[in-house]
Structure 1
Amino acid sequence: MKNIGELPEWLPEEILKKVGLPEINQALNDIHFPESEEAALSAKRRFAFEDIFLLQIFNMRQKLKLAKEKAPVIETNLTELKKITEALPFKLTLSQKKSLWEIVQDIGKPAPMNRLLQGDVGSGKTVVAAVAALLAANNGFQSAFMAPTEILARQHFQTLKKLFPDFNEKIALITSSESKIFYGDSLESAVKKADLVKKVESGEIKIIFGTHSLIQKNIKFASLALVVIDEQHRFGVKQRAELLKNHSRVIPHLLSMSATPIPRTLMLTVFGDLDLSVINELPENRKGIVTKIVDPINRSLAYDFIRSQVKKGRQVFVICPRIEPSANNEPAANLRISEWQKLETKSVMEEYEKLSQKIFPDLRVGMLHGQIKSKEKADIMKKFQKGETDILVSTSVIEVGVDIPNASIMLIEGADRFGLAQLYQFRGRVGRGEYQSFCFLFTDSAAKTTNDRLKAIVEAKNGFELAEKDLKLRGPGEFIGQKQTGLPDVAMRGLQDFELIKSSREAAVEILGKDKNMKNHPLLAEKLTEFEKKIHLE
């Protein structure tokens, strides 16, 4: 340590004093040669604090930078808004109304909105986003809806048609396998992609649905004002400008929708540049989902129950876990996406063979996995939606928000291999119709910890409560991706410490309040530049 020499202290002195942290050289010494446990913990706290502090400043500066950009002003006529919501086939819940009002206020400003709309699967996020898109159309602007898969893009398109059958400003769907236009009043037609692209460019089509690849497609928008993106938390200014593909200096508003509940600590740090709207209640008349943990002894009873439900006309989702690579294979982290897909496909095919040949040879079993081509996937889902398949076996990553009201059973194989937030999302795929729904968590593990984790799903009142438990049990990687974020382990652990986050946020506000451009803190500015280069959060 003596050979290193003194390191310059880049954390402002007033922050060190206020938070009670050791100076950098002292902290380095105490981490390696602590004189007491207290000194070691204090040093550790300092290193966790500094990365979270930089993250807070980074996010706050991103927010300030975005506030300087120009965005289209979408004006809202309250009478018009009332007319739109009253025409819906159901009443909006209080939290839907509150979220919609927050969005309406944001899009009415000349700076770009950067809002995350969170709500459980089936809580009605799409309708809130659709109303915002209608308001944009009424102002002569275009909106783009982007979903993670073609099936979901198609579902959002169908939802909007169903909710607003009289909307006659033209809605389009464009994916790799189809392109169509809805003209209102039940009129719809398939069109050539090239013709559809021209209509979007001319501004004739006001709401466009597609996958996240809309950004890469050769599409130019005439007057894009709102981007709605499903299950992707961040969509930067550069990506939004990319969608415009022209020299407009105007940045569209962004509404990101997510059914993955994010714990409060991560919302204040990793996602600190986003404003948050929450839909925390389900629509009226929605029945609770009966959830059971099923051990190996009770599997046959669960299968008998499932058969009896199918005989009554219900349908079943079966989710398979990814097969972990065997010990003589490469480590999991080194596997390419294509190799992961092969393992997932193998898992689905094995489950499909077991269910279709041994357990339910008398029922119609279908299979869906990532290596099936888009058109075939669409056909499989259509068959399931039409009730021509009784049981659909699928990988864990497929179609998070697919809406099949007649599917009333969710069977999750190897439930102990999924995170709580993920299990909660799977369960939300059923319970969307009038029938009582059930979720079976199959596990071969007899470990008490596994049982406790799965019990949390059975008892959870909402997704946010679960997300906090998941954060404690599995760490932040569950929410911000297992791939490298650029944050060291000590900071990743610090993301679970609410007091540390609170003090880092207050410190960041204090510094930016006095010295927005960091002119009086050159060492901190230098450190921030380094940090910005290594950080990459999705």
Structure 2
Amino acid sequence: MTNEKPDWIRLQKALAIEAEHGFTDLLGKQYRFSEFLSLTFGKFPIVLAATERRRWHELAAQFANYPNLGLEDRQHLVAETRRYLYQLQQEEGEQGSRGVEEQEIVYKSKIRLEKFATGGNPPYNFSQNPKSKIIAEVSRRLAPKIDQKLSDLPEIGIRKADNLARLGLYTVRDLLFYYPRDYIDYARQVNIRELQGGETVTIVATVKRCNCFTSPKNKKLSILELILKDNTGQIKIGRFYAGARFSSRAWQESLKRRYPVGSIVAACGLVKESKYGLTLDNPELEVLANPGDTIESLNIGRIVPIYTLTEGIVANMVRQAVIAVLPAASHLKDPLPSGLRQKYDLMELKDAIANIHFPNDSASLQVARRRLVFDEFFYLQLGLLQRQQQARAIQTSAILAPKGQLLEKFHEILPFQLTGAQQRVINDILNDLQKPVPMNRLVQGDVGSGKTVVAVLAILAAIQSGYQAALMAPTEVLAEQHYRKLVSWFNLLHLPVELLTGSTKTSKRRQIHAQLGTGELPLLVGTHALIQDPVNFHQLGLVVIDEQHRFGVEQRARLQQKGEQPHVLTMTATPIPRTLALTIHGDLDVSQIDELPPGRQKIQTTVLSGQERTHAYDLIRREIVQGRQVYVILPLVEESEKLDLRSAVDEHQKLQESIFPDFQVGLLHGRMSSVEKDDAITKFRDNQTQILVSTTVVEVGVDVPNATVMLIENAERFGLSQLHQLRGRVGRGAAQSYCLLMSSSRSPDAQQRLKVLEQSQDGFFISEMDMRFRGPGQVLGTRQSGVPDFTLASLVEDEEVLLLARQAAEKVIEIDATLERWYLMKEELKYRYERLMGGAILT
């Protein structure tokens, strides 16, 4: 290292002569071209900033390997080096044109910006410095602009920008908000004696011995070995360099010169056991002038960010790009008012961005993360509440009568008393239907809680007010189930009801279309067929969507568009955790039927291993002999070569021929035609078959009170919520029912999940646990569910922040729903909300 200025002319002349002579690695008076360049770049001027010094180190290694390069690689290296030196010379010229004092300030500002970017002190805290105004101005000038293209930044350039574009990063803002997915904590500095396997640490020690050589077993692998010593002990560490270019003796010698005996080295990595004792796994290294010097590496001695990468993009490329743009965080204007930040104890945005990338310590990382998680939740809730406010401003929906003869007659023919929870939810719905504002209510209820009866009362309120209603279900099995139940009630009320699915014959379909158009048909039940173009209602007043999360956003919206702002009632038998409900249904009113009808017995649930299969078959025999029926559920229709799972087709044959030849065994799966499905369900419902082997087609909609045993094969393959749904197919009668979860998995996690079902019948608790085990995207069983794609926020870990963000959003909307008084917040909402929802606006 030297204080001398670079001899630009001499360096450029050497590069030019090499190019003129065809890149032959010319031999000079003392050195070859490659040796001269390697030595020159090995001694970098002190005036260079840290990032430039790293670049000079790289060039020293590249020119040491120059003799091993092909012609094209030599041409490229020489051309890139000439451009790079020219750029440095221009920057030095610009500094020279300033006054000496300002030149010094520019240099110091660069260093402070770099320290800020790599975890040092923030660069704009210059209150103690008498020259603070000049430094702040220079720092501002040096910082990139928020909307600047990455390719325009000299630290990144076109080639790196093209790579970053593959990660969806095009501008400075994109990179600032490209949060790390994880971190490695090298901030803890320890003595060698304190090292323990499995920890990530940093040590500072003296080089006792250094060697660099080509592996005797692999000529394309070079190894750097160091023995480091401090006053508590010593350690042997190694770094590996794969590639023929590293086997050059010149390159190896240049590498050894970096770590001379007696030099001070900072090293960080994962502590692992080796045949020599403890070592650091392929560590990062930096030579220090003195033991107490500041470590300038991107990795050593700090919390290192880990970014999501793709093929061809290495971690340090992204880290260095982030460092280049991080000073631009100072340009960020915080959309959250200072009062709101103080109330919820939130870090300022520019500081949060700096600390999420390169935190000083774990405490500052947590504070930064909390602020950015709050933002993700806050803008989502703000958008949902704003939409709810806009919907409530519409005054064009039908006003439906909460009382009348139809409702009174229905209460009279009901063979059972409504539960308190059902009555409470019905009151919520009837109150909504009396308003000109369109109802948008979600009814959640556990399996068997009586959601259908609640929906029927809403439908009858629409019909007695002169309007039509539509009930849409996700599968033909469930639509058929609803239709059967409704027909049994509507016949007693002398009301027509029809079923429309993909299997409905053309002649019947035409008849339904005609009756809908004239208003003769007050209620239509169906599947996706309801949203087809020929389906036109005369006067649609109410839309009921069952298992609504199974429909896409557009499908739900298209059904609503069949009427003029109809009231909408959505239902789900998949209880949704509170955080998930707030996130995807934050613009809906939510009611819960949290009470089961009296007399329902708990379903006895048991987890069984493959060796206990005979116990399951004994129970099945005993129940069938007593006149009961059994479901056997499998995850596959046909045997898969890749998965060792029992298939429905094979299991049906085995049970019928070998295990239960005395009983009738039916088969039901999704690949069967509608006629075949109906036939299988009808035979099971009429007890013509005692055992029904099925896939998850029966998850919802099949209601056979005589079924008392549910045997689920490969239970570990299902989510907890889905298993709970399947379990709900039994226990619908007065007899004791059983759910047997057959699992061959020895995984502790799988066993722990299944034990939850053994211990609880509470669907809401089970859904919470399911979300913890599998994440929100899997709980609802479909990517069409509308779960936002959060970058940092976790619905499992950040419930407290979500509730605070909801509270804050409610207060903001209460003060000014248009956000006109908070222009920055309004613009940020516009940018973030649709991006967060992936362009999908929920109905």
Q: How does 1:100-119 map to 2 (within 5 A)?
A: 100-119=426-445
State the partner residue of 1:355: 655
Relative to structure 1, the CA distance from residue 318 to residue 451 in structure 2 (aligned partners, 3 Å threshold; closer, same or farther) is same
- 1:293 aligns to 2:607 (yes or no): yes
Select the residue among 465, 470, 488 that pairs with 1:162: 488
8 Å contact 1:322–1:344 — kept in the other structure?
no
Q: Whole-Å Cα distance in 2 between the matches of residues 416 and 140 of structure 1?
A: 50
State the partner residue of 1:193: 509
Superposition deviation, residue 325 in structure 1: 12
State the partner residue of 2:809: 508
State the partner residue of 2:364: 39
Scaled by the length of structure 1, the TM-score of the pair is 0.88
8 Å contact 2:776–2:795 — kept in the other structure?
no
Select the residue among 623, 628, 639 that pairs with 1:314: 628
Select the residue among 719, 728, 740 that pairs with 1:419: 719
Identity %: 42
State the partner residue of 2:447: 121
Q: How does 1:333-348 map to 2 (within 5 A)?
A: 347-348=647-648
Superposition deviation, residue 399 in structure 1: 4.6
- 1:487 aligns to 2:808 (yes or no): no
Superposition deviation, residue 537 in structure 1: 7.1
Provide Cα deviations, 1:159-217, integer angstroms capped at 9, x if missing partner: 122234321232122223237xxxxxxxxxx9722122101110011111111330125
- 1:260 aligns to 2:581 (yes or no): no
Q: How does 1:74-113 map to 2 (within 5 A)?
A: 74-77=400-403, 81-113=407-439
- 1:59 aligns to 2:384 (yes or no): yes
Q: Whole-Å Cα distance in 1 between the matches of residues 707 and 445 of structure 2?
A: 21
8 Å contact 1:409–1:437 — kept in the other structure?
yes
- 1:304 aligns to 2:618 (yes or no): yes
Superposition deviation, residue 313 in structure 1: 2.2
8 Å contact 2:422–2:450 — kept in the other structure?
yes
- State the secondary structure of the residue aligned to 2:423: helix
Superposition deviation, residue 136 in structure 1: 1.2
Select the residue among 579, 594, 597 that pairs with 1:280: 594
Q: Whole-Å Cα distance in 2 between the matches of residues 438 and 424 of structure 1?
A: 12
Q: Whole-Å Cα distance in 2 between the matches of residues 448 and 436 of structure 1?
A: 30
Counterpart amino acid of 2:682?
A: K
8 Å contact 1:103–1:132 — kept in the other structure?
yes
Q: Whole-Å Cα distance in 2 between the matches of residues 124 and 191 of structure 1?
A: 34
Provide Cα deviations, 1:418-444, integer angstroms capped at 9, x if missing partner: 222211111111111232211101111
Counterpart amino acid of 2:411?
A: T
Superposition deviation, residue 449 in structure 1: 3.2
Relative to structure 1, the CA distance from residue 451 to residue 430 in structure 2 (aligned partners, 3 Å threshold; closer, same or farther) is same
Q: How does 1:414-453 map to 2 (within 5 A)?
A: 414-453=714-753
- State the secondary structure of the residue aligned to 2:667: strand
Relative to structure 1, the CA distance from residue 325 to residue 234 in structure 2 (aligned partners, 3 Å threshold; closer, same or farther) is closer
State the partner residue of 1:3: 324
Provide Cα deviations, 1:362-387, integer angstroms capped at 9, x if missing partner: 33222222222222212221121121
Superposition deviation, residue 58 in structure 1: 1.3
Q: Whole-Å Cα distance in 1 between the matches of residues 528 and 797 of structure 2?
A: 31
| 402-411 or 26-35, larger mean C-alpha shift | 26-35
Relative to structure 1, the CA distance from residue 496 to residue 215 in structure 2 (aligned partners, 3 Å threshold; closer, same or farther) is farther
State the partner residue of 2:800: 499
Q: Whole-Å Cα distance in 2 between the matches of residues 502 and 245 of structure 1?
A: 33
8 Å contact 2:771–2:796 — kept in the other structure?
no
- 1:49 aligns to 2:371 (yes or no): no
8 Å contact 1:53–1:505 — kept in the other structure?
yes
Counterpart amino acid of 2:685?
A: Q
Q: Whole-Å Cα distance in 2 between the matches of residues 132 and 173 of structure 1?
A: 19
Q: Whole-Å Cα distance in 2 between the matches of residues 302 and 537 of structure 1?
A: 47
Counterpart amino acid of 1:166?
A: L
State the partner residue of 1:386: 686
Q: Whole-Å Cα distance in 2 between the matches of residues 13 and 344 of structure 1?
A: 58
Relative to structure 1, the CA distance from residue 14 to residue 324 in structure 2 (aligned partners, 3 Å threshold; closer, same or farther) is farther
8 Å contact 1:237–1:251 — kept in the other structure?
no
- State the secondary structure of the residue aligned to 1:511: helix
Provide Cα deviations, 1:73-120, integer angstroms capped at 9, x if missing partner: 101226764443232111111111111111111111111111111111
Q: How does 1:190-269 map to 2 (within 5 A)?
A: 192-233=508-549, 242-243=558-559, 250-269=564-583
Q: Whole-Å Cα distance in 1 between the matches of residues 339 and 469 of structure 2?
A: 47
8 Å contact 1:322–1:396 — kept in the other structure?
no
Counterpart amino acid of 2:760?
A: A
Aligned residues: 511
- State the secondary structure of the residue aligned to 1:11: coil
8 Å contact 1:270–1:537 — kept in the other structure?
no
Relative to structure 1, the CA distance from residue 322 to residue 518 in structure 2 (aligned partners, 3 Å threshold; closer, same or farther) is farther
State the partner residue of 2:340: 15
Q: Whole-Å Cα distance in 1 between the matches of residues 444 and 736 of structure 2?
A: 25
Counterpart amino acid of 1:39?
A: S
Relative to structure 1, the CA distance from residue 358 to residue 46 in structure 2 (aligned partners, 3 Å threshold; closer, same or farther) is farther
- 1:176 aligns to 2:470 (yes or no): no
Scaled by the length of structure 2, the TM-score of the pair is 0.57
In structure 1, the gaps of 5 or more residues are: 180-189, 330-342
Relative to structure 1, the CA distance from residue 16 to residue 360 in structure 2 (aligned partners, 3 Å threshold; closer, same or farther) is same
Q: How does 1:393-404 map to 2 (within 5 A)?
A: 393-404=693-704
Runs of at least 4 residues off by over 4 Å: 233-241, 322-326, 343-346
Superposition deviation, residue 282 in structure 1: 1.8
State the partner residue of 1:338: none
8 Å contact 2:473–2:526 — kept in the other structure?
yes
Superposition deviation, residue 297 in structure 1: 1.9
Bigger CA radius of gyration: 2
| 90-99 or 22-31, larger mean C-alpha shift | 22-31
Q: Whole-Å Cα distance in 2 between the matches of residues 445 and 193 of structure 1?
A: 48
Q: Whole-Å Cα distance in 1 between the matches of residues 575 and 841 of structure 2?
A: 17
| 216-225 or 482-491, larger mean C-alpha shift | 482-491
